[in-house]
Chains A and B, each alone.
Chain A
């Protein structure tokens, strides 16, 4: 049997959890480690932290977040964003992360995947792929949160990272990210059917049906989402006020408005929907 993993993704900017649309236009939602602990306690199968700004300035706070998380949370967690060298990988694993997620550096030098897999083990190397659909129907890889065009075709790239020793692929549809319009099923299916390593689908989850669809039709091995869960935490007032930072753009949170296409959910409600659709998962 195979159990589908439900993996909350937590985007980090400096000390804050943020969320944008199309990987841009960030809003501050709260403290990443508080959300992480909440998801851990409520049945998350893994966690992903993505340092989406990854400036040198923010790296110390990222390390603090990793160390704190590793002390409190006994499920696997992956850290990505701004990883350039094998030394960066070593530092993140040493701080207590179980896996790293690499995008830009792998595209610049694909051999890095082979070296990293040999040095740290395939299972610790997740390759993040950010895809944008072209008008002609092809999917191309982008880097730097969907800003930099590479001209690399997604399916061929996915196959190559598998051959070089990547353990998993974290596959984002930049077009769908933050929209709540549903995952890009075609993108996920093309990649998942091509490679024989697990594919984690991300980008576009607006409700439980979207999640069921990307597993059934998109053949995703794991599903990741952020807004549906974060808004669930905020809507249920599951965390106290101190988790919501005074810094940044949070006024919209207090207004109680969320994007109309995104239904707030909990991990439990997502897993109940999976089970009701005959999809196996840990519960």
Chain B
């Protein structure tokens, strides 16, 4: 199975690729449209600012390509900023439009949260009512820890897979709908259970390409 790790100059892609290879993907780091079109799965990673990220995607002509591939039901994994970009819009340093795959917005943590960014390990409250739940968390306990680093969070009611509590503030930490998985945390930095999530994504991609 071939995965394209979309390179739009937002952060360290090395570890994402490392995780892909570890679980069996053939992977390529690329910003080329053809590579996105030809891959069996798309992984959109990224750290940094939402507006800058959208600009880079536009500059590389990737916005329509990503949207089209998502519409055509190609498996898609968004991580951190790559998850946030799936939303309608963001209010990070101004108003920006996202890929608009889900209705929701990206917002800064409220002022009552004392330490921002939210950096470190945290747990998930899993919504077992989400149809993708057993697929994403296959053979993973619900009480595992994952590594987060972000100052903005996704505010949405659609297709929430997990929520997480930080300093008493609860936010959506993962979304899943059919072939689209979005994770606020970094599975490639979340030790064994993080790699297991990548493996579950790999198995899903393999399953639908059989």
Q: Identify which of A11-19, A92-100, A171-179, A255-263 touches chain B.
A: A92-100
Q: Using a Cβ cutoff of 8 Å, how many contacts connect chains A and B?
A: 96
A3 to B165, CA, bound (A): 11
In the complex, per-residue mask of A153-171: 1 if CB is within 8 Å of any chain B CB, else 0? 0000000000000011000
Instruction: Scan residues 1-33 of chain B and give those whose CB is less than 8 A from a CB of chain A.
Output: 10-12, 14-15, 18-19
B117→A74 contact, CB < 8 A: no
**In the complex, per-residue mask of A51-90: 1 if CB is within 8 Å of any chain B CB, else 0:** 0000000000000000000110011100000000000000
- Complex interface bits, B37-57 against A, C-beta within 8 A gives 1, otherwise 0: 000000000011100000000
Q: CB-nearest residue of chain B relative to A45? A: B121
Q: Does B128 reach chain A (CB closer than 8 Å)?
A: no
Q: Is the CB of A70 within 8 A of B18?
A: yes
Contact residues on A (Cβ < 8 Å of other chain), bracket = 20 to 34
Of all chain B residues, which has the CB nearest A92?
A: B12
Does A254 sit at the interface, judged by CB under 8 A? Answer: no
Name the residue on A nearest B164 (C-beta). A1
Task: Give complex CA distance A4, B120 in Å.
Answer: 8
By a CB distance below 8 angstroms, the chain A residues around B101 are none
User: Is B194's CB under 8 angstroms from A167's CB?
Assistant: no
Contact A98 B145 (CB under 8 A): no
What 1/0 mask marks residues of chain B from 120 to 161 whose CB sits below 8 Å from any chain A CB? 111000000000000000000000010101110000000000
> Given contacts A40-B191, A98-B189, A196-B114, are A282 and B11 in contact (CB under 8 A)?
no
Closest Cβ neighbor of A7 among chain B residues: B120
In the complex, chain A residues whose CB is within 8 Å of the CB of B188: 74
CB of B153 to closest CB in A, whole Å: 14
For A1-44 the 0/1 string (1 means CB < 8 A from B) is: 11111000000000000000000000000000000000010000
User: Which chain A residues border B189 with CB–CB below 8 Å?
Assistant: 74-76, 98
Contact check, A121 vs B115: say whether CB atoms are below 8 A apart. no
Contacts of A74 in B (CB 8 A): 15, 18-19, 188-192, 194-195
Residues of chain A with a CB closer than 8 A to B204's CB: none
A1 CB to closest chain B CB (Å) equals: 6
Confirm or deny: A267 has a beta carbon within 8 angstroms of a beta carbon on chain B: no
Q: A2-B166, A3-B122, A76-B147 are in contact. Are A70 and B117 (CB under 8 A)?
A: no
Instruction: Tell me, yes or no, whether A222 is within 8 Å of chain B by CB.
Output: yes
CA distance A101 to B41 in the complex (A): 34
A94 touches B167 (CB 8 A): no
How far apart are the CA atoms of A276 and B40 in the complex, in Å? 48
Contact with A along B41-79 (1 / 0, CB 8 A): 000000111000000000000000000000000000000
Which chain A positions have C-beta within 8 A of B14? 70, 94-96
Q: How far is the CB of B152 from chain A (nearest CB, A)?
A: 11
Specify which of B145, B149, B191 is in contact with A123 (CB 8 Å cutoff): B149
- Distance to closest chain A CB from B173 (angstroms): 13
A75-B147, A197-B115 known; A2 and B120 CB under 8 Å?
A: yes
**Set A1, A40, A97, A123: member contacting B167, Cβ < 8 A:** A1
- Of the candidates A5, A96, A121, the one whose C-beta lies within 8 Å of that of B121 is A5
In the complex, which residues of chain A have a beta carbon less than 8 angstroms from the beta carbon of B47? 121, 123-124
Chain B, Cβ-Cβ closest to A167: B117
Check A98 against B12 for contact (C-beta < 8 Å).
Answer: yes
Contacts A/B (CB < 8 Å), 6 sampled: A1-B122, A4-B120, A96-B18, A121-B48, A196-B116, A197-B115
Known: A76-B147, A97-B12. 14 other contacts (CB 8 A): A1-B167, A1-B168, A2-B166, A4-B120, A75-B189, A75-B191, A96-B18, A120-B11, A123-B119, A123-B150, A124-B11, A167-B117, A221-B115, A221-B120
| Chain B positions near chain A (C-beta within 8 angstroms) | 10-12, 14-15, 18-19, 47-49, 114-117, 119-122, 145, 147, 149-151, 165-168, 186, 188-192, 194-195
Binding site for B on A (CB under 8 A): 1-5, 40, 45, 70-71, 74-76, 93-98, 120-124, 167-168, 196-198, 221-222, 281-282
